[in-house]
Structure 1
Amino acid sequence: MTAQGTDTRTIDTERETLLRVLEEQRGNLRYTVRGLTDEQARQRTTVSALCLGGVVKHVARGEKSWVRFILEGDPGTDYESPETYAAHEDSFRLLEGETLQGMLKEYTRVAAETERIVRELPDLEAAQKLPTAPWFPEEASWTAREVLLHIIAENAQHNGHADIIREALDGQKTMG
């Protein structure tokens, strides 16, 4: 038992459950993009800027950033700067020299790092103040648990985007 009376096995079970659900979401995205060429992975099939390679790139970048937030807090991102906006927009597409396989490799590397860090956390209650941004309440904080749930939700949301893009691209469905 821990000092607060919570069984360590319960904490470990929660941690492993969150990591398992996150990996299931990653697996769904990897399944959705299977067999694509780089040309197909760059193709936009909707009016949005999203392409399948960009979805993989974006969720890997987001996960890496949020896990760094768990450890270090807000890096002081200026969400109003043109550079920040441009970097965000570039995260939704494969740029010159980037490949789908390269993005999948990065996604796998980020996943391994996330799992290592989360397993090394003393608990999931450590909190950091959220960045100052229009979409976050002022002075709010998130625990490591809340960040993991956010990463899972982001992956799930973007998996839905990927399903639509892939089906419009070549009729392939992830589910159904």
Structure 2
Amino acid sequence: MPDTANLDQPTVTGECADLLEALAHHRTMLRRTARDLTDEQAGLRTTASELCVGGIIKHVTSVERAWTAFIRDGLSALPSFTDMTDEDWAQRAEEFRMQPGETLAGVLDAYEAVAARTDEVVSGLPHLDVSHPLPEAPWWEPGGSWTARRTLLHIIGETAQHAGHADIIRESLDGARTMG
């Protein structure tokens, strides 16, 4: 009997499939940095920065969630960076830390759920040229916009960059390496 579980899922091919595959690779590298860590270890800082493995995964989860919502819903999905208060910025900084009561398993589960949602949203797009204006921010050209393609490349870049950060933190913690 044929497998009918995925009949409702669109077949993703070409550029979209390549980009999702690249994202999946970098997600795997990031998750691999957390293998065999305790909750306490996942929250430890091992470098001069404020970063810890669990906090990096939380941040990447938040970034991917927000940018996936932008692909789907446009400008309304992102904050107005020019209107953010010091409290808003402090709250964003907290996503880089493991908070009391948080577990590595919970952080990884949240990341997995966001990853599945991103894959679903991107796989359901008619094409990667869907475009939305960017919010006002000092780091973007006024009046700029991003396509779904450009946004997905941003998610891939964030994930890859932070996977590298996590790898350094993990190696400093106990000598383990993501690729070794």
Q: TM-score, normalised by structure 2?
A: 0.88
* 1:59 and 2:48 matched: no
Q: Deviations over 1:3-31 (max 9, x none)?
A: xxxxxxxx831111111110000000111
Q: Deviations over 1:70-127 (max 9, x none)?
A: 1112236243312320221011011121111101001110111111111111111011
Using the alignment, how far apart are the partners of 2:18 and 2:164 within structure 1?
A: 22
Q: TM-score, normalised by structure 1?
A: 0.90
* 1:82 and 2:83 matched: no
What amino acid is aligned across from residue 94 of structure 1 in structure 2? Answer: M
Residue 44 of structure 2 is matched in structure 1 by 43
Question: Structure 1: which 5+ runs fail to align?
Answer: 1-10
Using the alignment, how far apart are the partners of 1:84 and 1:144 within structure 2?
A: 26
Number of residue pairs matched?
Answer: 166
Among 141, 154, 158, the residue aligned to 1:154:
158
Provide the secondary structure at the position in 2 that maps to 1:128. strand
Residue 68 of structure 1 is matched in structure 2 by 69
Q: Give the deviation of 1:175 after TM superposition.
A: 2.0
Q: Give the deviation of 1:65 after TM superposition.
A: 0.3
Question: Structure 2: which 5+ runs fail to align?
Answer: 1-11
RMSD, aligned α-carbons: 1.3
Residue 17 of structure 1 is matched in structure 2 by 18
Using the alignment, how far apart are the partners of 1:19 and 1:84 within structure 2?
A: 31
Residue 5 of structure 2 is matched in structure 1 by none
What amino acid is aligned across from residue 111 of structure 1 in structure 2? Answer: A
Q: Deviations over 1:122-176 (max 9, x none)?
A: 1110111111111111111000000000000000100110011001101111124
Q: Is the 8 A contact 2:80 2:135 kept in 1?
A: no
Using the alignment, how far apart are the partners of 1:89 and 1:74 within structure 2?
A: 22
Extract structure 1 runs of 4+ deviating beyond 3 A: none
